A and B are shown apart, each in its own frame.
Chain A
Amino acid sequence: LAKTTQPISMDSYEGQEVNITCSHNNIATNDYITWYQQFPSQGPRFIIQGYKTKVTNEVASLFIPADRKSSTLSLPRVSLSDTAVYYCLVGGDTDKLIFGTGTRLQVFP
């Protein structure tokens, strides 16, 4: 399983775009990159998943460079409700889901 490294915390203001980068230097060929969001006292919620290049859905975009050794979750125009912990996970379909430290995002008014 590829280990992931993320910033421990980030601060932002409402309306700004937030980019959270995750390093996964040992990513394997069949590994996908998945991001989850967790609010206090709740289970994680799936945000987005990708394999390469760029993926976009209604809540976020995921940018993956050609070497796939890192990925960036982009949250457009964050609001106070986006204050949460964001986890980057890397693995294949039969792998265990191992969580790293995550990034604690604090959005200020």
Chain B
Amino acid sequence: GAVVSQHPSRVICKSGTSVKIECRSLDFQATTMFWYRQFPKQSLMLMATSNEGSKATYEQGVEKDKFLINHASLTLSTLTVTSAHPEDSSFYICSARERVGQTEAFFGQGTRLTVV
């Protein structure tokens, strides 16, 4: 299947700083990318959906000024957690769908963010 690469896999940052997570589709062009976060023993919670070249659509309750999503190209989307706080510590996962008409999506390996 198609490969989605997420980087970094693990990051520790100080409270108040910003962290950027990259999500790349390595062998296909992703028209749509999804960002999730997952707390221990819980399911994936959709944060936002982004389409290449347009603004991301955020789910209710997700602060768009805190979680900045950029989908600048068909192979790269970034999530920046701004002014991170300990409660933002979580597992963040991206997903990419290749084209309209495709229902299958491919997921990155995830990023474990720890804010200290």
Contact = CB atoms under 8 A, between A and B. Distances in A.
Given A41-B91, A43-B6, A93 B107 contact: no
B46 A98 contact: yes
B95 interface: yes
A94 B106 CA distance: 15
Interface residues on A, range: 20 to 34
Interface residues of B, number: 27
A87 B49 CA distance: 19
Interface string A40-62: 01111110010000000000000
Interface stretch (A11-19, A21-29, A68-76, A99-107): A99-107
Given A41-B110, A41-B112, A97 B102 contact: no
Nearest to B109: A43
A44 B103 contact: no
14 contacts: A34-B104, A36-B107, A41-B110, A42-B110, A43-B94, A43-B95, A43-B107, A44-B44, A46-B104, A46-B106, A49-B104, A87-B43, A96-B46, A97-B34
Interface of A: 32, 34, 36, 41-46, 49, 87, 91-94, 96-102
Interface of B: 1, 4, 6, 34, 36, 43-46, 49, 91, 93-95, 97, 100-110, 112
